[in-house]
Structure 1
Amino acid sequence: MTVRRRLSSRPFKAAVAALCMAVGAPLLAGCGTLAEGAEGDPITVMTWAPEDTKATNMPGMPAMAQAFARWVNDSGGINGRKLKVVTCNERNDAIQAARCAQRAKEEDAVAVVGSYSQHGRSFISPLEVAGIPYIGGYGLTQEEFESPYSYPVNGGQAALLVGNGRQLASVCKRVSLVRPDTIAGDELPELLDTGLRAGKRRPAHDVRAPEDAGDYTRQARSALEGAGATSSPGALAQGELDDACVTAALGNRTGTFFDSFRRVQEDHAKVRIASVLGSVRQSLVDSTGGSSSALEGTYATGWYPAADDRRWATMNKVISKYAFDDNRIDPADPGTQTTWIAYTVLRSALESLDNHKITASTVRKALDHGHAVDTGGLTPTLRWGYADMLNVPNYPRIVNPDVTYQVVRDGRLVAVRKGFVNVGRTMERYHPAG
């Protein structure tokens, strides 16, 4: 068999560039075309997230993207080319989410990376029309796990809720779920119930709540009643199974809910509380009293290792050096962490490509054709081939069904057990309502 060696086009392009400079561009019609895609041109990507809104805000995600770009560019770029990050404020608004997607096309972005939006229906279609891949979305919407242009790095809200159900089934007899009264929130109860059923527990009591409220007293009372909490105060004996558990998934408003819940709970027996990471964060525990916080003992289900895990060391060093005065970035926030992992995927994919052929199409093809990404143990090796995807109704793009179980202990979110919990088989039992 004869092996043909592909000749590099770089000497030829360098010669043409020199000729263009010598004779002047107007005299050589092809100069402009040949200059396009040159090694000096930056590689443009976009990151969006809501900022300065009355609901969930995720300013740390675009801030982390910019810090990552500064680190990469200070380290020589992507095979010599700079990485340019364009950010967009999604504003928790469907129209603005669509505008951000349109802007990604106008900026000639090769990918949208590490972003947050609950308006999947608004942004996915424009990205598909433009052929732009969506790498490492936060995982809020069904569309992120359906579109062939989406490459999720975690199992999204689906994995968190199924994992939270499994975690609570081992310690709770009855559970109430407090969740946003939104389209994205409508998917959460059945997912939690899938995990509860795996532990032979009854479905959770579903409590809808406005995601921008300033008080949740009514929802707190409903949650306690739905979980069967008794009206006689008193602590449970150590090791006793909790009769009533309340889990909340309200994003930034989870702290507001627990404030209301704490006041209402005083007239009831001890109730275990829980949440999913992103709703309960280390910053929330710190702001509510640390080791004396009402959140002490709260269970949480996350996608990644606990924030004190050594596998976050590189990210923490990058934040310290390239965003040391940027208080938007919380290293313990799962949004920040998701953006870090998503950009790790992007960098790996870009470095696998011919430097002169980096486009949205070639990035997508690299990921579709089995490019594997090592995230340093923060996730399993990520691949988006057909054989890597789970058979989960409405979520066919999930390739990472791992979660972690954490608990607030002595004012810190720490791991309950070492390693990940794979909830893939449980997720495959999920049956969408209706």
Structure 2
Amino acid sequence: MKDDHALRRWSRVLVAVLAGCALLAGVAACGSNSSTSTSASTSAATSAGTSASTTATAPAESGDASQTANNRPVKKASGTPIKTMTITSLDSQGPVYPNISITAKAYEQWINNHGGIAGAPLQVTVCDEHGKPTDASACARQAVQDKVVAVVGSFSFLGTNIMPALEKAQIPVFGECCPITPPQWTSDISFPMGTQPLYGVGLVKRAVEDGCKNINAVIIDGAQGFLPPMENAMKAYGMKFGKTVILPPTAQDQSPQVAEATGGGADCVIMIVSETPYIAWNQAWVQSGTKARMYGPQGNLDNVSIKGLGNALDGNIIGGMYPDLATTPWAVYRQALKDANADPNQDYNSLGGMGTWAAYTGFTQIAEAIPGAPQSINAKTYLAQAAKTTNLDTKGMVPVIDFTKPWTENPPFKRLFNRTVVFSTIKDGKVVPLTTEFEDVSDLALGKKPSQ
């Protein structure tokens, strides 16, 4: 039976923490850089040497890039462009996401070299909202003025500032990895493809299935909204966290928190922590000599935060929304990044990078399904086509999505169409794929044990 009280509590807590969303950083759109970018461009983000870059994850090599998602021919697009916008933060005192901008422009280049969208070229505008509400609203107004077909593959903490103008103009917001504001969870113009904030539930699922008996949780301060569905999942298994540690986002030495999290006989620790504090955490974790296993989020427990620690973290588990970048679904993405001379210092094995590529892949499929495309493609026709799409198939980037079936069991999050997780692990000091099958966590998030 649905626990309405738990659902209301989950919704209230998530909304309450939005005021502190800047603390989430990579928790929400993994692979961010929290330092200021001074040279990221809103029009050409594919050149090397972006000053915001601090990560170092080169595109993987495996997979057959000669086979595109739709076996598209090498052919130049021509005609009137189809306009989209991608909104994120590039030049800001807070978290920045150059990997989103780079990916959006790389997709533009790739699709235009492979026949375009129904033969027409794609024209992507990347709008930098600078982490400021006024600039986020300005991006939305620019999208309306430019008559874009959709806002695609974006991430911003400022959805409440972005959505009103788009809702009034009925411009779809498509494919986001990480919707984190109420309008993105409920608006009929919102079509997210990611699973935010449910991958914490997936971490619980994996830990229990791995045989963990004494599980603690570590949540970075500001991300407490992830906790209620995780607690629901523990309850579904007849368990509860031994203790929950709230991690200060600015602490340099995490040794006291590591000692607390691994105390009480904990055999496993589930982490909702962003990338920058994870670096200090991992160093303290290794120094502690604990035998407990960590379960952390994609793009945060990553090759950046484990760098320099050798194989000390081997065997720890990573849960996320997208299969690892090294897997077959991303072969074209990897090639497109090379073709675009994408900054090799950015982390593309991330929610921001892979989420944006998946979003544009899905956008193209729906646009090309509009009768009379490309001449008939506009915001109105795109919104109508997306709303009746029952089988968006990105060939393994995300599960097949049915946009006609909102999450009716959980009205505050009715627009979360994809509620699955996949896993990676750490081997020989590197993040490697662990699973490629998407595991549904809808029931667990509501406190119901999934059927066997």
- State yes or no: 1:86 paired with 2:104: no
- State yes or no: 1:245 paired with 2:284: no
Q: State how far apart, in whole Å, the 2-side matches of 1:109 and 1:210 are.
A: 41
Choose the corresponding residue for 2:202, options 163, 166, 176: 163
Q: Greater relative contact order (Cα 8 A, min sep 6): structure 1 or 2?
A: 2
Q: Say which is worse superposed, 399-408 or 415-424, in terms of deviation.
A: 415-424
CA shift at 1:137, angstroms? 1.4
Secondary structure of the residue that 2:432 maps to in structure 1? strand
| Cα RMSD, aligned residues only | 2.6
1:130 matched residue in structure 2? 169
Alignment of 1:259-408 (within 5 A): 259-263=283-287, 265=288, 269-285=290-306, 287-289=307-309, 292-321=310-339, 323-327=340-344, 329-353=346-370, 354=372, 355-370=374-389, 372-386=391-405, 389=407, 391-408=409-426
1:225 matched residue in structure 2? 260
Please list the CA deviations of residues 334-393 of structure 1 after superposition, one character each: whole Å capped at 9, or x if unmatched. 21111111001111121122222222121111011225321012222222103x645235
Letter of the aligned partner of 1:278 in structure 2? G
Alignment check: 8 A CA contact 2:232 2:446 kept: no
2:137 matched residue in structure 1? 98
TM-score, normalization by structure 2: 0.73
Q: State how far apart, in whole Å, the 1-side matches of 2:414 and 2:242 are.
A: 25
Q: State how far apart, in whole Å, the 2-side matches of 1:245 and 1:295 are.
A: 13
Please list the CA deviations of residues 268-304 of structure 1 after superposition, one character each: whole Å capped at 9, or x if unmatched. x43322211021223433x334xx1443222111112
2:237 matched residue in structure 1? 199
- State yes or no: 1:45 paired with 2:84: yes
Please list the CA deviations of residues 140-181 of structure 1 after superposition, one character each: whole Å capped at 9, or x if unmatched. 4143222211111122222x0111111223443344433343
Structure (1 or 2) with the larger CA radius of gyration? 1
1:19 matched residue in structure 2? none
Q: State how far apart, in whole Å, the 2-side matches of 1:329 and 1:61 are.
A: 10
Alignment check: 8 A CA contact 2:220 2:272 kept: no
Secondary structure of the residue that 1:132 maps to in structure 2? coil
Identify the structure with the greater helix proportion.
1
Secondary structure of the residue that 1:173 maps to in structure 2? coil
Q: Say which is worse superposed, 124-133 or 68-77, in terms of deviation.
A: 124-133
Choose the corresponding residue for 2:432, options 409, 414, 429: 414
Alignment check: 8 A CA contact 1:389 1:397 kept: yes
Secondary structure of the residue that 1:75 maps to in structure 2? coil
Q: State how far apart, in whole Å, the 1-side matches of 2:418 and 2:192 are.
A: 8
Report how many residues are paired: 367
Q: State how far apart, in whole Å, the 2-side matches of 1:260 and 1:53 are.
A: 29
Q: State how far apart, in whole Å, the 2-side matches of 1:359 and 1:412 are.
A: 43
Q: State how far apart, in whole Å, the 1-side matches of 2:224 and 2:218 are.
A: 11
1:26 matched residue in structure 2? none
CA shift at 1:310, angstroms? 1.7
Q: Say which is worse superposed, 94-103 or 337-346, in terms of deviation.
A: 94-103
1:23 matched residue in structure 2? none
Please list the CA deviations of residues 389-430 of structure 1 after superposition, one character each: whole Å capped at 9, or x if unmatched. 452352111222221122112223234345222212222338
Q: State how far apart, in whole Å, the 2-side matches of 1:162 and 1:192 are.
A: 5
CA 1:390–1:400: 2 relative to 1, 3 Å? farther
CA shift at 1:94, angstroms? 3.7
Q: State how far apart, in whole Å, the 2-side matches of 1:127 and 1:103 are.
A: 10
The gaps in structure 1 that reach 5 residues or longer are 1-38, 231-241
CA 1:204–1:252: 2 relative to 1, 3 Å? farther
Secondary structure of the residue that 1:304 maps to in structure 2? coil
Letter of the aligned partner of 2:126 in structure 1? T
CA 1:200–1:227: 2 relative to 1, 3 Å? farther
- State yes or no: 1:258 paired with 2:282: yes
Secondary structure of the residue that 1:394 maps to in structure 2? helix
CA 1:426–1:330: 2 relative to 1, 3 Å? same
Please list the CA deviations of residues 299-354 of structure 1 after superposition, one character each: whole Å capped at 9, or x if unmatched. 11111222221222121122222x23423553422211111110011111211222
Q: State how far apart, in whole Å, the 2-side matches of 1:390 and 1:102 are.
A: 31
CA 1:225–1:150: 2 relative to 1, 3 Å? same
CA shift at 1:251, angstroms? 4.1
Letter of the aligned partner of 1:147 in structure 2? S
Alignment check: 8 A CA contact 1:135 1:152 kept: yes
Q: Say which is worse superposed, 335-344 or 120-129, in terms of deviation.
A: 120-129
Alignment of 1:179-194 (within 5 A): 179-182=219-222, 185-194=223-232
CA 1:179–1:57: 2 relative to 1, 3 Å? farther
CA 1:340–1:195: 2 relative to 1, 3 Å? same
Alignment check: 8 A CA contact 1:56 1:252 kept: no
Letter of the aligned partner of 2:420 in structure 1? D
CA 1:426–1:101: 2 relative to 1, 3 Å? same
Secondary structure of the residue that 1:413 maps to in structure 2? strand
CA shift at 1:116, angstroms? 1.3
